[in-house]
Structure 1
Amino acid sequence: MVTTIAGVILAGGEATRLGGGDKGLASIGDATLLELVAARLAPQVTHVVLNANGDPHRFASFGLEVIADPLPERLGPLGGILAGLRWAARQESLTHIVTVAADTPFFPADLVTRLGVAVVDAQDIALARSMGRVHPVFGLWPTALADDLAAHIAEGGKRRVTAYAGERRRVALVDFAADGEIDPFFNINTPGDLAKARTMVRREKE
């Protein structure tokens, strides 16, 4: 049963198409991407933590606990998911984590509720889908899967999130509707995406 859920913001990308550095620190209006993502996630969960590697002090102003990938190998989102599961396993009463991307500031306000409703078994995984595309970074993960995911990695399993989820676990896919032509999981990869996001934020405030 889904009872207590923590939110994990995955911020491990290198933002090469935006010139490098931390994508979440890019400004969108009066806030950074990371601030927008955290503000959208916080009302949906009991705790919010940030998964990022390197010096955690660069995120000190956000007031979030920063957790690094637990393995030296670069694993992409799987490393961040494992970090979140390991962190959650050390806390009391956390049954699940939900993961979101630091570069996707307009994800649904009912993301966590709808993912939670979709799972039937305590060890199910739920992933978001929109416009026919699965978004594996936006998922609900039982804390109890930490050891299983670690074993998948240690055994040389494929590093794609969907490979782990689809091959070893039962997955519920949850469809979220687009707002017109705007995908709610629109993510920012390029300067053009950043400009589009700034326009979207301005329109939200009008």
Structure 2
Amino acid sequence: MSSKSNHYQSKTAGVILAGGRATRMAYQDKGLVAYRDKALICYAIAALAPVVDQLIINANRNLNTYQHFGWPVVSDTTDSYDGPLAGVYAALLKTDADQLIVMPCDCPLIAANHVERLLQQQLSTQSILTVASDGTQLHPVFFAVRTGLRENLGEFLASGQRKVGDWLAQHSISRVDFSAEADIFTNLNTLNELAQLERAYSHIILK
């Protein structure tokens, strides 16, 4: 359980977004693709689980496989693969927490201390939305959101809109500057990118 959320008398949930089609990765289920002999979803779980009070996996395929990781699995409310916000909305419908931390399944360099920083700023500033930045641009699928925006997000999706950036632009946001560690946002969209990252970090021993 997050000591920070407990300190602020606030409950925090986290969702890992693993519900995409992964068209650039030959339609493989990205969360289950192996990076350094572990499924990508394992790195996201390791980053979120120590920080949040409730962890949710958003997936639209291979649901039984995802359930074996030991956390609740929720699918989008539609079967049309409407993008990351559809997964966020599904998680918001599932949780009774005060805020939800959102992170992708394909950024294995994001660790628990990065999630802690995001949550700490969300709680200390009492922001509606807190979004990670590399100092130059936002990384809009790594953010914390007050669950009171549940209805607003549902209306946004119902209007046919899908872009995360467009939804974020409708609200006042707090930014967390990760420019000193910008490589944590390295995301894996293709098998070639996966191989490149494995070579780049082959000298680091996994714990």
Contact 1:2 1:95 in 2 (8 A): no
Contact 2:46 2:111 in 1 (8 A): no
2:118 pairs with 1:115: yes
Distance (whole Å) between structure 2 residues aligned to residue 144 and residue 46 of structure 1: 17
What is the CA deviation profile of residues 32-66 of structure 1, one whole-angstrom value per residue up to 9, with x for unaligned ones?
A: 11112211221121222100113511323311211
Distance (whole Å) between structure 1 residues aligned to residue 195 and residue 79 of structure 2: 35
Instruction: Pick from 106, 121, 142 the counterpart of residue 103 of structure 1.
Output: 106
1:6: Cα distance to partner? 1.2
What is the CA deviation profile of residues 117-144 of structure 1, one whole-angstrom value per residue up to 9, with x for unaligned ones?
A: 3346656101111151211110101111
TM-score using structure 2 length: 0.85
Aligned residue in 2 for 1:160: 163
How many matched pairs? Answer: 198
Distance (whole Å) between structure 1 residues aligned to residue 112 and residue 66 of structure 2: 24
When the two chains are superposed, the root-mean-square deviation of aligned CA atoms in Å is 2.2
Aligned residue in 2 for 1:174: 176
2:78 pairs with 1:71: yes
In structure 2, relative to structure 1, the CA distance for the partners of 1:69 and 1:2 (3 Å cut) is farther
1:72: Cα distance to partner? 4.2
Distance (whole Å) between structure 2 residues aligned to residue 68 and residue 26 of structure 1: 19
Instruction: Pick from 43, 58, 61 the counterpart of residue 36 of structure 1.
Output: 43
Distance (whole Å) between structure 2 residues aligned to residue 13 and residue 37 of structure 1: 15
Instruction: Pick from 134, 137, 153 the counterpart of residue 133 of structure 1.
Output: 137
Tell me the SS of whatever aligns to 2:73.
strand
1:73: Cα distance to partner? 4.2
TM-score using structure 1 length: 0.86
Identity of matched residues, %: 32
- The unaligned stretches of length 5 or more in structure 1 are none
Distance (whole Å) between structure 1 residues aligned to residue 199 and residue 55 of structure 2: 27
1:183: Cα distance to partner? 1.5
Aligned residue in 1 for 2:94: 87
Runs of 4+ in 1 over 6 A off after TM superposition: none
What is the CA deviation profile of residues 67-125 of structure 1, one whole-angstrom value per residue up to 9, with x for unaligned ones?
A: 01123443201101101111113xxxx11110110111111432333223334665610
Distance (whole Å) between structure 1 residues aligned to residue 188 and residue 173 of structure 2: 26
1:30: Cα distance to partner? 2.8
Aligned residue in 1 for 2:3: none
Moved more, 187-196 or 64-73: 64-73
2:186 pairs with 1:186: yes
2:198 pairs with 1:195: no
